[in-house]
Amino acid sequence: MPQWQNGNFLNKDLYIQLLEKPELISQEHLSDITDIIQEYPYFQSARALRLKILKNQESYKYNNELKITAAHTSDRTVLFDFITSEAFKEAPIKEEKISLKDKILPKRKQIKVSAIEEDLAIGKPLSFTQNETFSFNQWLQLSSKKAIVRTLNNKISEKQTSKTPVKSEHEAIIDRFIETAPKISRPSKTNTSDIKISENQQNNQLATETLAKVYLEQKKYDSAIQAYKILSLKYPEKSGFFADQIKRIQILQNNK
């Protein structure tokens, strides 16, 4: 537990207030919270509060910090509940910006990759809802490359390991779902129609705009396009927007 009395960190009462009302946190608290994390890397609530600051800033660092925070969190369901709460999503009032999605795309040869990435909101914080546990876990899949090891002086060292990390029963259930849910068994000659129906139902349930953005951040462009195609069928009133997103992704693919 941080030594609040040494004067290096936030006042204890203020820290507790920020935990109870994360919507009150601001940029001015970032330095103190970062100092706490550097001194106490496994202080989970401090990492959660830093996530909130980065979300408020719409920082490009947020998405990667989410993975790091998840790696330091003993129960990821608590983290997921926090980042999908209304208090976490509430952001400070700022000047309204003109959305680039309403602009007419110039000719293909004149389009810059940076403009397309801005249109697709690549690098902006991912925003999950309570119903998007699948999208959340898809994003966290890439965070399991390295294992975090405690040293005697409580500093973090990261090293490549081939050993499988110990998982809780809850995480094991989620992993089994991820491994089995997206898979579609090979169709038989006798029941092709039934299998196609179940495949479509499954894709419709899993596809969300957030999942499409997760694929974009992971540079899985084909998967993102497929997600937008499913969403176009699922929400025909937004088919024009989804079609534009697909065109932008295709342009991004061709310019990479």
The tens digit of pLDDT for each residue in 193-212 reads: 443 434 444 456 678 999 99
Regarding whether 219 and 120 lie in a shared domain, the answer is yes
- pLDDT at position 227, please? 92
The C-alpha atoms of residue 70 and residue 133 are separated, in whole angstroms, by: 13
pLDDT of residue 127 exceeding 60: yes
Pick the last residue of a domain from 66, 91, 116: 91
Nearest Cα to Cα of residue 246 among 226, 109, 200:
226
The tens digit of pLDDT for each residue in 144-189 reads: 444 445 554 444 444 444 445 555 666 666 666 666 555 445 555 5
Q: Is residue 3 part of a domain?
A: yes
Q: Within 58-154, where are the H helices?
A: 62-71, 76-83, 86-89, 113-119, 133-140
Regarding whether 105 and 83 lie in a shared domain, the answer is no
Kindly give, in sequence order, each residue whose CB lies less than 8 Å from that of residue 15, ignoring residues fewer than 6 positions away. 4, 9
Regarding whether 86 and 5 lie in a shared domain, the answer is yes
The stretch 218-233 carries a mean pLDDT of 92
Regarding whether 86 and 1 lie in a shared domain, the answer is yes
Regarding whether 120 and 79 lie in a shared domain, the answer is no
Q: Is residue 165 part of a domain?
A: no
Regarding whether 124 and 32 lie in a shared domain, the answer is no
Collapsed DSSP state (helix, strand, coil) of residue 160: strand
Regarding whether 120 and 73 lie in a shared domain, the answer is no
Regarding whether 120 and 222 lie in a shared domain, the answer is yes
The tens digit of pLDDT for each residue in 45-67 reads: 899 899 988 988 888 899 999 99
Domain that holds residue 72: 1-91
Percent of the chain with pLDDT over 90: 15
Using CA atoms, how far residue 3 sits from 10, 13, 105, in Å, is 10, 13, 55
Write down the mean pLDDT value for the chain: 74
- pLDDT at position 118, please? 85
Q: Is residue 43 part of a domain?
A: yes
pTM of the model: 0.57
Q: Is residue 158 part of a domain?
A: no
Q: Which residues of 111-145 are buried (b: 16+ CB within 10 A; e: fewer)?
A: beeebbeebbbbebbbebeeebbbbbbbbbeeeee
